[in-house]
Structure 1
Amino acid sequence: MRAEHHRYRGSGRLPRSERWRIERLTEANPLWGSNGIAFGPDGRLYVAQYVAGRISAVDLGSGDVEVVVDLDGPVQSPDDLAFGADGSMYITDLTPGRVWRRTPDGAFTLVSDEVAAPNGIACVGDRVFVNEMRVGGRVLEVTPGAEPVVLAEGLAMGNAMQLGPDGCLYYPHMITGEVHRVSPDGGEPELVAEDVHAPVAVRFDRGGSLTVLSRGEEGIVTRIDLFGSGDRSVVPGEVSGMDNAAFDAENRMFVSSFAAGGIAELSPDGRAREVVPTGLVGPFGVAAHRSGTVFAGDNYRLADVDDGQVTTRELLVFSHGVATDDRGRVHLTSQFGDVRTYEPDDRVLTTRARELSRPTGVAARRDGSLVVAETGRGRVVTIAEDDALDVLAEDLDSPVDVAVDGQDRCYVSDERAGTVSLVDGCGIALVAEGLEAPQGIAVLDGELFVVETGRRRLLAIDLATGERRVEARDLAVGLPPGTARAQPALFQHGLPGVPVPFAGVAAGADGSLYISANGEGSVLHLRRRSRE
């Protein structure tokens, strides 16, 4: 995969450091998540990348990826796409609620901004239809300059849809596990199938068989001979967290994964052939487990990194901060407002707190309690072993990460204020100021390490003297240099918007450091150079 096609320009180069040897534990991700997919007039497979805010085209023969709509364009969060009769690409921009047309020469036209959480999209000749991914959603026909025409209402979260052989539009109800259809000319919607496993995309193969993808961890594909015997088959596959599918002229099925990105060809028996490799969609928080495994909060999942391989440990939507403790537990925060504790050996997940306002960084103390940066309320809170919640500090600007030292003292980074502070029951003591967007922090050997995302570097701050030292430069964190991107509202229609970037750092038991390079979708491992 050519490096210039990764999401961070120049991602083939490693950061510079005089004191640390730096390597990638994972390769940079060529597709920053993969959502809606469709074949274009040129025969390439076009991929909408919701988190990245970009659309890429994949040559299925070579696996080469070319960015055709970059994240500095008008589209903020492309979730699905379809091609019209004239070769124009139509795009659902989920978070801001827009539908776009991109002509073959690259010009954009706003089709509609009157659709709430538009997701699934289908073109029927010159007509364009979309549905809404929300409770009580609708199926609509959209035309530039006209009011949307409602075809169906009451969707229990719609998603990828397609025109069937009978001329009807087919779409899933994700919450209820159903597939429905409606005529493009309106009329009463009809239930087609129920008890379908976690349906996320409805597609028809070249033979007219109804194919429904599951968004679950099991990678299930359900096939229904809708216009023949009515028989149903269920096949577990090898792709977790599927989002969409497209069939080529030879009836080969290609699938995307919102959880891990990549593109795979999925055979009828569920086996997967990798076309574009999967990878990390963030990563955001990162933590080193006592077993040697590295865990990452990867937006749609808790992922682990072992021997260069990324595995989906659990599908946990909107995961951000991650920490481990001496008992081997993993703690993580969610943009939904939850704090959870995970037992890796037993795969048991316990919710420790709910309804926090955008909790981000999390750290574990020796007594088993947790410290959490509650970014949305400007607080640092503690969660005791019995789940009792207490406020450690408040009236902060934008706290994003926390770290504890050997004496269980708590440090917090404040991204907007540009500070790192020591917080305890007595108040807040400034440790460093004048930083540019500090995010991830970790304490190691009497020094505080800070990912200063505004300057794309790692700082070390001596906690005894306050002396600073630049440990690594040119980190692939945040947006690529020179790129601006509007940040949509955090929540619209009850759904989180595009995740707020968070570059974490963690210390390992061997004195090494791990950094989530969320600008390219990798984890960096930093080991001290020998002093010769």
Structure 2
Amino acid sequence: MLTARRLRPVALALALVLPLTAVPDAAAATRYRVQRLVDGTALHSPNGIALAPDGRLLTASLASETISTVDPRTGRTHRLVGPRDGRSDDLAIAPSGEILWTDPVGGVVKGRAPDGRIRTVARDLPGVNSIAFDRSGTHLYVGQLTFADALWEIDPAGQAAPRLVARDPGGLNAFAFGPDGMIYAPRSKHGEVARVDPRTGAISVLAQGFRQPVSVRFDAKNRLYVLDGATGQLVRIDPAGAKHTVATLPAADDNMIIAPDGHAYVSNMADSSVSRVNLDTGAVSVVTSSKLAFPADIASDGRTLYLADATALRTVDSRTGAVGEIQRRLSSSLEFPSGISVTAAHFVLTSELIGSVQVVDRATGKVVREVHGLDNPADAVELADGSLVISEPAQGRLLHAVGETVLPLAENVGAPTGLAVTRRGTVLAADAGGRLFEVAPASGKVVERAAGLGGLRAVAVRPDGSAVVLDVIGRRVVSVQHNGKREVLARGLDVGYLRVPYARSGGLTVGPDGTVYVAADRDNAVDAIRKTRG
């Protein structure tokens, strides 16, 4: 949280701006080649899941702000609603065929009619997460998590004001209605499954001992199932409350739906996967999955690549492309990483969704420092003295976090996104408006290095001290020399999935040999841009 607010004068040294010289793309094309190092899929980090009337699956994604369809037979996916309207965590299907979903960040419930029209159903519900109709299909309920804790009945037509059912019910995640008309819900704050009266809000505990229950569903025989996202266990609960494990899936499962044929479909946000579970036999088959979930940024320590993979912290071998994992959501304290930088001792992870920065000890994996209360931070770097510089593009500023104190370092600097530390200890900042500028942490002095670079998301420092930037609007990587000379190293890259209201996903870093590595977020992939011989 910002503990003090004190304006610091910013010196815009425009007289020092160096002229730029464009280099023809043909010259760069003969010197660099793009190699796909890690391949992925088009489905990005799914959260909620529902079954459409035509038999297709619908998935909601908070990280990629997308609602997609998935063919359960082939795994083929299609984007139905894109950013930002598609920012969603859970969904429900109305009897009319309208798709309704929750947007926890916007605090709204939205709907998409069969003809494609999108409307806002309810507002002013920060953290709204779970959503379900009762069995009649006429009464709609939503639960708030994270930013608030409550259960509401809302008008599907969007006319009447929401009715409060229960305040502080314990974090009701994806819930379902039982044959008795009661709500059966995971209480995420207590590791329990509870029965909730939708009229009075009265709660009775049915089963305990879960680490992170995320979803409760009934099958066609009215048998009750619970999904634990931290352990990956899919559990059946009998009427007496006894638990029977049906199957164990990877951690970071986020939701499930049960089809009439007795199969459960489980979404996993860290694997960008949907799995099918036979509830009678426990057999698991994968409908679709990816090595990467939604790589929003990338960093390097000179040996290994590290990815802020939306719902996981991952490694990539820069030679072989082998993917490893350090942490994932739910089974650790990891938030939703969208920005990453690395030092000898720490990972510095930025979460735009949560509005936070986490500093993680590389040796232990423990979070050693957190900064919360930020406004959509894009990136953060740790300086030699242990302080942090954080970019807030929505506020047009850089912040300096020293101990518990967070103060503005440079203001009115456009929309600063990616950051990098130079050899001199200054900070390079990529402005989404196309500028590259340098800031001295001690004084806040700002010097523009280049302009007209497109829609910038990220910057990195090359071995010779020059810079490379990622222009996600132009889908290219540009080198910027000390004298201001520019060179396009590669174009046509699969980057920039989130770019409204500014560049928000995709990243780049540089290896010790000068190879540029790109987080190709559109394809859940990683590319290497290598210099060719001759």
What band does the TM-score fall into relative to the shorter chain?
0.7 to 0.9
Equivalent positions of 1:164-313 (< 5 A) are: 164-186=178-200, 188-216=202-230, 218-225=231-238, 227=239, 229-234=240-245, 237-266=248-277, 272-290=284-302, 292-306=303-317, 307-308=320-321, 310-313=323-326
d(CA) in 2 for partners of 1:388, 1:101: 42
Q: Which moved more, 1:26-35 or 1:416-425?
A: 416-425
Is the 8 Å Cα contact of residues 173 and 180 (structure 1) preserved in structure 2?
yes
Summarize deviations over 1:453-508 as a string: whole Å, max 9, x none. 33322111111x2211111112333248xxx8579xxxxxxxxxxxx714322111
Deviations 1:357-380 (A, max 9, x none): 554334456x57465233257225
Do the aligned partners of residues 267 and 302 (structure 1) sit closer, same or farther apart at CA in structure 2, a change above 3 Å counting?
farther
Query: Offset of 1:309 from its aligned partner?
Result: 5.1
Structure 2 residue aligned with 1:518: 521
- Please list every run of 5 or more consecutive structure 1 residues that lacks an aligned counterpart in the other structure: 1-15, 488-499
1:457 aligned residue: 476
Shift in Å, 1:272: 4.4
Secondary structure of 1:146's aligned partner: coil
- Structure 2 CA distance for partners of 1:98 and 1:352, relative to 1, 3 Å: closer
Does residue 97 (structure 1) correspond to residue 107 (structure 2)? The answer is yes
Spell out, residue by residue over 1:59-113, the C-alpha distance to the aligned partner (whole angstroms, 9 max, x if none): 211111133x22168x342322222334443333443333344444444454433
Shift of 1:396: 4.5
Given that 1:51 and 1:77 are in contact with CA atoms closer than 8 Å, whether structure 2 keeps it comes out as yes
Equivalent of 1:505 in 495, 505, 508: 508
CA contact (8 A) 1:362 1:370 kept: no
Query: For the structure 1 residues 339 and 94, does the alpha-carbon distance in structure 2 shift closer, same or farther, using more than 3 Å as the test?
Result: closer
- What letter is aligned with 2:153? L
The 5 A counterparts of 1:367-406 are 367=384, 369=386, 371-375=388-392, 376=395, 378-381=397-400, 393-397=409-413, 398-406=415-423
User: Is the 1:359–1:374 contact (alpha carbons within 8 Å) kept by the matching residues of 2?
Assistant: yes
**Residue 5 (structure 2) pairs with residue 19 (structure 1):** no
Q: Deviations over 1:121-174 (max 9, x none)?
A: 223233142222233312314231223344333233332111113332212222
Structure 1 pair 185–260 and aligned structure 2 pair: CA distance change class (3 A): same
Question: In structure 1, what is the Cα distance between the partners aligned to 2:426 and 2:121?
Answer: 54
Q: Supply the distance in 2 between the matched residues of 1:52 and 1:281 (Cα, whole angstroms).
A: 10
Shift of 1:435: 3.0
1:349 matched residue in structure 2: 367
2:95 matched residue in structure 1: 85
Q: From the superposition, tell whether residues 232 and 513 of structure 1 become closer, same or farther in structure 2 (CA, over 3 Å).
A: same
Q: Is the 8 A contact 2:495 2:506 kept in 1?
A: yes
Query: Residue 60 of structure 2 is aligned with which of 17, 32, 48?
Result: 48
Residue 493 (structure 2) pairs with residue 475 (structure 1): yes
Q: Is the 8 A contact 2:46 2:59 kept in 1?
A: yes
Question: In the superposition, relative to structure 1, how do residues 152 and 428 fare at CA in structure 2: closer, same or farther (>3 Å)?
Answer: closer
Residue 117 of structure 1: how far off its partner (Å): 3.6
Q: How has the CA–CA distance of structure 1 residues 363 and 185 changed in structure 2, closer, same or farther, with 3 Å as cutoff?
A: closer
Alpha-carbon distance between aligned partners in 2 of 1:353 and 1:110, rounded to the nearest angstrom: 32
Displacement of 1:447: 1.9
| Shift in Å, 1:213 | 1.6
**Aligned partners of 2:388 and 2:164: how far apart in 1?**
48
Which residue identity does 2:532 align to in structure 1? R
1:527 equivalent in structure 2 = 530
1:389–1:528 Cα change, 3 Å: farther
RCO higher in 1 or 2 (8 Å CA, sep ≥ 6)? 2
Cα distance change on mapping 1:256 and 1:311 into 2, 3 Å = farther
Moved more, 434-443 or 388-397: 388-397
- Cα distance between partner residues in 2 of 1:429 and 1:113: 42
Between 1:81-90 and 1:264-273, the stretch displaced more is 264-273
Deviation at 1:449, TM superposition (A): 0.4
TM-score by length of 2: 0.81
Residue matched to 2:22: none
Residues 24, 254 of structure 1: alpha-carbon distance in 2 compared, 3 angstrom cutoff: same
1:198–1:213 Cα change, 3 Å = same
Partners of 1:96 and 1:355 in 2: CA distance: 16
- In 2 relative to 1, CA 116–357 (structure 1 residues): closer, same or farther, beyond 3 Å? closer
Shift of the 337–22 alpha-carbon distance from structure 1 to 2, 3 Å rule, reads same
**What letter matches 1:361 in structure 2?**
D
SS in 1 for 2:473: helix
- Give SS of 1:519's match: helix
Q: Distance in 1 between matches of 2:406 and 2:165?
A: 50
Q: Is the 8 A contact 1:203 1:210 kept in 2?
A: yes
Distance 1:119 1:17, change over 3 A: farther
CA-based RMSD of the aligned residues comes to: 3.2
Distance in 2 (CA, whole Å) between partners of 1:51 and 1:160 is 18
Question: Against the structure 1 CA distance between its residues 358 and 83, is the aligned structure 2 distance closer, same or farther, given a 3 Å change threshold?
Answer: closer
Q: Which residue number corresponds to residue 173 of structure 2?
A: 159
- 1:357-372, aligned counterparts within 5 Å? 358-363=376-381, 367=384, 369=386, 371-372=388-389
Structure 2: which 5+ runs fail to align? 1-27
Superposition deviation, residue 230 in structure 1? 2.9
Q: Does the 8 A contact of 1:357 with 1:377 survive in 2?
A: no
% of aligned pairs identical?
26
Q: Tell me how far apart the structure 2 counterparts of residues 359 and 114 of structure 1 sit (CA, whole Å).
A: 23
Q: In structure 1, what residue type is equivalent to 2:57?
A: L
Aligned mate of 1:423, from 440, 443, 447: 440
Give 1:442 deviation, angstroms. Answer: 1.0
When the two structures are superposed, what TM-score results if normalisation uses the length of structure 1?
0.81
Please give the alpha-carbon distance, in whole angstroms, between the structure 1 residues aligned to 2:342 and 2:122.
46
CA contact 2:219–2:260 (8 Å) conserved in 1:
no
Cα distance in 1, alignment partners of residues 283 and 326 from structure 2: 20
Q: Which moved more, 1:411-420 or 1:449-458?
A: 411-420
| 1:76–1:96 Cα contact (<8 Å) kept | no
Q: Given that residues 33 and 490 in structure 2 are in contact (C-alpha distance below 8 angstroms), is that contact kept between their aligned partners in structure 1? A: no
Identify the residue that residue 348 of structure 2 maps to in structure 1. 331
C-alpha deviations, 1:381-425, integer Å up to 9, x for none? Answer: 376xxx587879422523322223344443222334733225353
Instruction: Check whether the contact 2:435–2:449 (CA below 8 A) recurs between aligned residues.
Output: no
Aligned residue pairs total 489
Distance 2:481 2:408 in 1: 24
Match of 2:467 in 1: 448
| Aligned counterparts of 1:390 and 1:97: Cα–Cα separation in 2 | 27
Alpha-carbon shift at residue 510 of structure 1 (Å): 2.8
Cα distance change on mapping 1:391 and 1:86 into 2, 3 Å: closer
Distance 2:427 2:120 in 1: 48
Which amino acid in the other structure matches residue 531 of structure 2?
Answer: R
